[in-house]
Amino acid sequence: MTYLTNAASAAAILAAMAAPAFADFQLSDRYSDADGDLIADIPTDAADLLDPSTLIFAYTPVEDPAVYAEVWQGFLDHMSEVTGKKVQFFPVQSNAAQIEAMRAGRLHVAGFNTGSNPLAVACAGLRPFAMMAAEDGSFGYEMEIITYPGSGIEEVKDIAGGDLAFTTETSNSGFKAPSAILKADFGMEAGRDFTPVFSGKHDNSILGVANKDYPAAAVANSVKGRMIERDVVSEDQFNVIYTSQTFPTTGYGVAHNLTPELQDKIKDAFFSFDWEGSALAEEFGKSGEAQFIEISFQKDWDVIRKIDDANGVAYDCQ
């Protein structure tokens, strides 16, 4: 897969908000979208449907997958009860590996991070339907540009001439959004005004700043908040020099070619899960989440597709 990423004006993104960004988003030729909801249709030929005895679940790449395997276990046990299937946690090391696993039929249920959701939908047939939210239904996170005290960086323009850590090119807050914002609002471009370095994950970028390996980094503040709550890092190790608008968070969905009955049961597992006293509540409550809510990729990811468009992102699903 090839990601074409030439940063463009964030002002253009904001100006485009009045018009939906539906027409330009297209799925890989291997999928159909007869109803126009921008996600792959469920195959109508029974021969193309999957009904696996074991469901494979993956959460977006994190620094320590073993921690999240434990966090998700209670939920996966619930999914097993609802679906009548064995459910296995699959640790992934990168967004690209996660997308390829679903595209190849090795991954059935997954949470894809904000920026990789459009790529997973277009190239892997992801059908996203859920997102974590607070008790009152509010959701989302902000992109922050962080540095460490004593770095000499007091504001965004001070990044010029040095390094800025991104996560991966598929990440919204870890690359796409800051690239657009830096060019539009500060006239700064990677390679010309600062040197981009890629850490691979938000956790790595956050730890890199905390350990003074990176002078600055663009990260999701929800990840930083959970790491602070787990005492992996501390608040006083960071200065925040920029905070963005709020973006939707990790989107959860299924492979398009699971049987309709199985897809319905998986959805039911998400929306019937009791968060109270769960490991999910303990971990994700650190960033305010308390439930799963239903989402529309067409509506809720409109701003993310606009950022992709403004950044010149194109998807090569070959």
pLDDT tens track for 30-75: 999 999 999 999 999 999 999 999 999 999 987 677 889 999 999 9
Domain definitions of the chain by residue range: 10-138+248-310, 141-247
* Tokens found for residue 137: 């239904």
Eight-state DSSP code of residue 130: E
Distance CA 97, CA 316 (A): 15
Burial (0-12, 13-18, 19+ Cβ within 10 Å), 36: exposed
pLDDT beneath 70, residues of the chain = 1-23, 63, 318
Q: CA dist 95 to 72, 121, 198, 201, Å?
A: 19, 13, 13, 9
- Quick one: fold of 141-247? D-Maltodextrin-Binding Protein; domain 2 (3.40.190)
- pLDDT at position 106: 97
**What's the pLDDT at 311?**
84
pLDDT, tens digit, 9 for 90 and up, residues 191-236: 999 999 999 999 999 999 999 999 999 999 999 999 999 999 999 9
10-138+248-310 and 141-247 in the same fold? yes
Q: Which CATH number fits domain 10-138+248-310: 3.40.190.10, 3.40.50.11900, 3.30.1490.20, 3.30.300.130?
A: 3.40.190.10
What was the pLDDT predicted at 318? Answer: 67
Q: Residue 38 in 3-state DSSP?
A: coil
CB 90 within 8 A of CB 76: no
pLDDT at position 22 is 45
The DSSP code for 162 is S
